[in-house]
Amino acid sequence: MRLNKKNILKQLWAVATADPSAAVSVVDGDLVLTNSQDWPEAVRLAVAGVEKSGGNVKIKFYDKLKALELLGKHLGLFEKAAETDDKAESLLEQLLEEMHNAECKMDVSAKRTD
């Protein structure tokens, strides 16, 4: 697989949308690993590794939330939230400054009446 934008997005999409249950099936109440050649492409791309220990097989998948986060950043889904946070912080700072200035004016007024 060549390293380019299309392939990176394809890999991220696979990790974000893969259904791990496609790698196993239930037979007579037991969980059975299915043939990896029968797995959907998204599941194959999402597998980070397979370990066999004794009679057990462990399938490790890449981080789905991280893939969703990277796709969201690529699509600009979080930019508006960041702008909103910046505006809220700016308004809060302005409000605090106005409150501080009002307190200072009150102190000055109180001193003049003494």
**Mean pLDDT in order along the chain per 10 residues (114 residues):** 85 91 88 89 92 88 94 83 68 71 58 53
Q: Are residues 1 and 27 in the same domain?
A: yes
Q: What is the DSSP letter of 60?
A: E
**Number of domains composing the chain:** 2
Strand partners, 49: 60
What pLDDT does 83 receive? 66
Q: Domain range for residue 91?
A: 78-114
- Same domain as 46, residue 2: yes
Position 106 scores a pLDDT of: 55
Does 85 lie in the same domain as 66?
no
Based on the domain organization, do 68 and 84 belong to the same domain?
Answer: no
pLDDT of residue 61: 93
pLDDT of residue 110: 52
* pLDDT for 81: 63
The CA–CA distances, whole Å, from 98 to 60, 94, 101 equal: 54, 6, 5
pLDDT of residue 84: 64
One domain for residues 83 and 52: no
Are 69 and 82 in a shared domain? no
Nearest to 44 by CA among 66, 26, 22: 22
CA–CA gap between residue 82 and residue 92 (Å, rounded)? 15
16 and 65 in one domain? yes
Closest residue by Cα to residue 10 from 71, 72, 98: 71
Q: Is the pTM of this model over 0.95?
A: no
